[in-house]
Amino acid sequence: MNRLEGSIAAVQSSDALSLVDIDVGGDRFSALVVETPQSNPHLRSGRRVRILFKETEVSIAKGLTGGLSCRNRLGCTIRAIETSPVLAKLTLDYRGTTVVSIITTRSAEALGLQVGDSVEGIVKSNEITIREGDA
């Protein structure tokens, strides 16, 4: 499980859903949660949180241009690549923190991924979980 630490920057709610913006070292991440500040008092600006997301939920882009609906984009450098006939495990460096992505080996080969490449890890808002915590 990938983990990053930050603080809640904003919360926008409608009915039982909230879109929570989290500041992680100056980068803004968004999480879509089935809670509101009324149902979970921890969802308040300034609160320290951990964001969690599975390795299989990190898509990889190389040389991405144009628009994209996913706002959670992590500028990374590939530190290591382990491949099997079906899957590739990418160990990424995101601002000194290790983030892991598991994609198909076909995709890794099609992108021509190499250790040292600059890539973007992309995670949809509904795939991010928020946990209370201090950095």
Domains of the chain: 2-132 (2.40.50.100)
> Distance between CA 32 and CA 111 in Å, rounded?
29
* Band of pLDDT at residue 134, cut at 50, 70 and 90: low
> Distance between CA 23 and CA 14 in Å, rounded?
21
Which pTM value belongs to this model? 0.92
pLDDT, one tens digit per residue, over 47-87 is 999 999 999 999 999 988 888 888 899 999 999 999 999 99
* pLDDT above 70 coverage of the chain, percent: 99
Distances (CA, A) of 34 to 19, 28, 43, 59, 109: 9, 20, 11, 23, 37
* pLDDT above 90 coverage of the chain, percent: 86
